[in-house]
Chain A
Amino acid sequence: MNFEFNEEQKLLQHSVEAFLRDNYDFQRRQQQVESDTPFDQDLWRQCAELGWLGLPFSEEDGGLGASAVEMMIVFEQLGRYLVIEPFFETLVLFGGALKRSRHPIRSECLQQLISGQLHGALAHFELHSRGEIGSIESVSTTTDDGFCLKGCKTTVYNAPEADFVIVSALNLVRGEELLQLFLLPANKPGLEIEAYQTTDGRHAAELHLNNVHVDASCLLAEGSEALAILRETYDDALLLLCAEHQGAMEQLLRETVEYASERKQFGQAIGSFQVLQHRMVDMYIATELARSLLYAATLKSVDQSPDAGLFIAAAKVKSDTCAKAVAESAVQIHGGIATTNELSIGHYLKRIIVVSHLFGSTQYHQRRFGKLSRQLFAPGGMA
């Protein structure tokens, strides 16, 4: 057992951190959020030049073949600096689903993505899904030359900027529902993108599938293959959301301790009050406990261990719970100023709350953990 990063991983951590420190201070981030463009295209191109957009993709697809550990390292920093650029949406969700398919267009598409020229979105979940991958209602009907798609996908992050979207639907074949994934250009007729801004400074959309006619060649995967693609992609994604939480927690703790050491009331630094010291210690404890489960789940995922799903669910629950507690304490200790738009603290809180409800809420993953845990401890289980 070993929990240290190797030299290359330390270097990656250092370069991402240094890059964001130099290029992504909070003021600049806020200017971007308040501007007319959803994110900074120049920064995206720089990241492409640095090779970071290729990290999670195989060398065969023009990537660097990095593992979940390297991705975790990157996402911790993205969380720490509240980065709004769509690493998560384009690389992890869209790219993650695409890289797992066997579609002939995969390599070409990924190469464009890696060079920073292509953005994507994954449109799977719907209003009633609440994180349950099998729970969608969009329908695909087979036509003479392909399929016709009807339905509505909800809160699709990065859809307004996407060049391509991956869309899921159920096709009724001989009374059985067959899950299908399609790769569509975002300007496909019938695909209506109802764009909006999100609380966490990003852009998303409701994606209406108004009888979208697609060629058979748009079919990316179906049946158990499609399901496996989504499961693996969302499991990767959940871990990286935990990594984002992790970076946010660390930064919140740092900023809170600094603030409490400077802010004076009753003639002394508020950090000298024991009641606040203990609250900050609890922030530290929460941060470290969450980190341990993040590491464990990430390594379980790298090992493709049979209990990886259990660990991912556990990590998500712990990470959500701890991040929320840390952010709420950070607001409380900062006082009134943290409730304003000016300070970063409230923006961390917003992102943390949003992340805790993406792809299944904390409660959903707690139930998922309970189910997997009962299987594990059932007679004949692994434990």
Chain B
Amino acid sequence: MDLALSAADIAFRDEVREFLKQSLTPSLKRSGDLMTSVFSNFESAMAWQAILAEKGWAAPDWPVEYGGTDWTVNQKIIYLKESKRAGAPSLLPMGIQMLGPILIRYGTEAQKHELLPRILSGEDVWCQGYSEPGAGSDLASLKMRAVADGDDYILNGSKIWTSFAHRSNKIFCLVKTDVDSKPQAGISFILVDLDSAGVTVAPIVSIDGEVEQCQVFFEDVRVSKDNLVGKENQGWEVAKCLLEFERGGYCYYAAIEKQLAQVRRLAAEEKTAEGWFYELDPVFSTRLAELEIEKLALEFTENRVNCLAEGKPGALTSLVKVAGTELSQKVDALALELRGTHLPLLQNEALSYGFEGGFIGSEHGLNIMNAYLNNRASTIYGGSAEIQRNIMAKQVLGL
């Protein structure tokens, strides 16, 4: 047992820090600092991806032969942590984090050869077609049909909560290829061009006034059978594997550390009604200490999980997902207190990438209300907190 970073890891950390210092432009950093969501805004995410792709760091989890890295688990954690700490935007995960590893594991040679480079270069932007209006937590009850027609499928149905579909050109979907078998058995995993005839993308405005989510409609959309990933009717296995990648491979504590750094900064700038700085207020300090302690517990739990799993996410990712998202919501709520009188101001344009105009109130808290609202979704998406508890009850406790 030890906490030590090896000399190689320290050298790696310094290399990452140096790279971040050189490469993060002020507007990228502003955009990273003022994130309101698990996603950065689209423009800054893609701008940062281009810089990382050139460096060869856009997809650390992929094998080197596909443009990934040979980093150890420790190094990947260091990279994620340092990136968050420096205020780097987050890359959109649908291509790099989710589909990439799936193609590497289940894809044909042709699919890997054609699609992986286009993910890295940003030429393809992918979105995830999992949930449907009638299939949220109960994902296996999805209804979207794919009916064989010669070498093609004809797709009909609708997907919802497809993040960034309005900015994407491709979608990976779970579809029913066999309606007569058990729910999980008749599902396939298929890749679709969003510019195919019959596809309509309808943006959904979230409660923070922004569009991240969409609903995608499919009406007699023709897709080649070559676009299947894995075999027909074995999509559920692929889907489950992807959900683990979606839940894992994320450094919750680093994101929360960033939230806490913002809270501490504001607590040193903002005063309570009584006229003292928040950082000196006993009620506020007590709450902050509680959350900082929870952050440390989460941090070392994530470290433990990463060391145990050696890069292979398992059931413990459910624990981390629940603890991470629930804690981040608690920090959101504490931040609201600090924003004070300016909390109601709606100035979303001031949060956009490259914004140089004026705004009212402290810039350091500009994202707080939007972040609070947006983050309500974190305990719902990727398997809700309740679904995660069901998984743990079954898989860990044997209930």
* Size range of the chain A interface in the assembly: 35 or more
What residue in chain A is nearest B289 (Cβ atoms)?
Answer: A370
Chain A residues within 8 Å of B11, by CB? none
Contacts of A290 in B (CB 8 A): 297
**CB-CB under 8 A for A277 and B3, given A292-B304, A366-B286, A370-B286:** no
Docked complex: A276-290 residues within 8 A CB-CB of B: 277-278, 280-282, 284-285, 288-290
Interface string of A57-80 (1 = CB under 8 A from B): 000000000000100000000000
B307 at the interface (CB under 8 A from A): yes
**Interface 1/0 per residue, A367-383 and B, CB below 8 Å:** 10110011001000000
Q: For residue A284, which residues in chain B have a CB less than 8 angstroms away from its CB? A: 319, 392, 396-397
A1, B293: Cβ atoms under 8 Å? no
A1-24 interface (Cβ within 8 A of B): 1-6, 9
- State which of B286, B288, B293, B301 has its C-beta within 8 Å of the C-beta of A288: B301
Does the CB pair A69–B397 fall under 8 Å?
no
Asked if A281 contacts B286 (CB within 8 A), the reply is no
Q: Are B386 and A278 in contact (CB under 8 A)?
A: yes
* B259 vs chain A, min Cβ distance (A): 14
Complex Cα–Cα for A280 and B301 (A): 19
Choose, from A88-96, A224-232, A310-318, A336-344, the stretch at the interface.
A310-318
Which of A105-113, A127-135, A293-301 contacts the other chain? A293-301
- Expressed in whole angstroms, the Cα–Cα distance for A58 and B322 within the complex equals 43
Most buried by A among B2, B5, B279, B300: B300
The verdict on A176 contacting chain B, using a C-beta distance below 8 Å, is: no
Asked if B389 is at the interface of the complex by the 8 Å CB criterion, the answer is: yes
**Does A280 contact B399, Cβ atoms closer than 8 Å?**
yes
The answer, among A4, A296, A318, for a CB contact under 8 Å with B294, is A318
Tell me how far the C-beta of A258 lies from the nearest C-beta in chain B, rounded to whole angstroms. Answer: 10
Q: Does A260 contact B (CB under 8 A)?
A: yes
B74 at interface, CB cutoff 8 A: yes
Number of A-B contacts (CB under 8 A): 121
Residues of A245-266 contacting chain B, CB below 8 A: 257, 260-261
B27 close to chain A: CB less than 8 A: no
Say whether A210 faces chain B, with CB atoms less than 8 Å apart.
Answer: no
A120 within 8 A of B: no
**CB atoms of A2 and B1 under 8 A apart:** yes
* A53 shortest CB reach to chain B, Å: 23
- Which residue of B290, B308, B386 is within 8 Å of A366 (Cβ)? B290
Query: Does B398 lie within 8 Å of A3, measured CB to CB?
Result: no
Chain A residue with the shortest CB-CB distance to B303: A1
Q: B301 contacts A292, CB within 8 Å?
A: yes
Assembled-state Cα–Cα distance A1/B304 (Å): 9
Beta-carbon contact of A257 and B292 below 8 Å: no
Inter-subunit contact B397/A295 (CB<8 Å): no
* Structural contact, A281 and B392, CB atoms closer than 8 A: yes
Q: Is the CB of A257 within 8 A of B399?
A: yes
> B380-393 CB contact bits vs A (8 Å, 1 = yes)?
00000010011011
Residues 313-335 of chain A, each 1 if its beta carbon lies under 8 Å from chain B, else 0: 01001100000000000000000
Let me know if B5 and A1 touch, CB within 8 A: yes
Query: What range describes how many residues of B lie at the interface?
Result: 35 or more
Question: Do the beta carbons of A292 and B300 come within 8 Å of each other?
Answer: yes
Cross-chain contact B308 with A369 (CB below 8 angstroms): no
Q: Does B377 contact A (CB under 8 A)?
A: no
Give Cα A286–Cα B386 distance, bound, in whole angstroms: 16
A373 touches B292 (CB 8 A): yes
Q: Is the CB of A1 within 8 A of B397?
A: no
Q: Which of B1, B285, B297, B393 contacts A5 (CB 8 A)?
A: B1
Question: Assuming A292-B304, A311-B296, A366-B293, is B74 touching A1 (CB within 8 A)?
Answer: yes
Residues in A neighbouring B319, C-beta threshold 8 A: 284-285, 288
Q: Are B303 and A292 in contact (CB under 8 A)?
A: yes
On whether the beta carbons of A293 and B397 are closer than 8 Å, the reply is: no
Most chain B CB within a 10 A radius of its CB, from A305, A369, A370: A370
Q: Is B376 an interface residue when CB atoms closer than 8 A count as contact?
A: no
Check: A35 CB closer than 8 A to any chain B CB: no
Name B301-353 residues within 8 Å CB distance of A.
301, 303-304, 307-308, 319, 322-323
Known: A274-B390, A277-B389. A2 touches B293 (CB 8 A): no
Partner-B contacts on A (CB < 8 A): 1-6, 9, 69, 257, 260-261, 271-272, 274, 277-278, 280-282, 284-285, 288-293, 295-296, 299-300, 303, 305, 311, 314, 317-318, 366-367, 369-370, 373-374, 377
15 new A-B contacts at CB < 8 Å, known A1-B2, A292-B304, A296-B296: A260-B399, A277-B393, A278-B393, A280-B393, A282-B389, A285-B323, A285-B392, A288-B301, A289-B294, A291-B304, A292-B299, A295-B304, A299-B1, A366-B290, A370-B289
- Give me 16 A-to-B residue pairs in the complex whose CB atoms sit less than 8 angstroms apart, sorted by A's number: A3-B307, A4-B1, A69-B1, A281-B389, A281-B392, A288-B301, A292-B297, A293-B293, A296-B3, A314-B292, A317-B289, A366-B293, A367-B286, A370-B285, A370-B289, A373-B289
Report, nearest first, the 5 A-B pairs whose CB atoms are least far apart: A292-B300, A277-B393, A370-B289, A292-B301, A289-B297
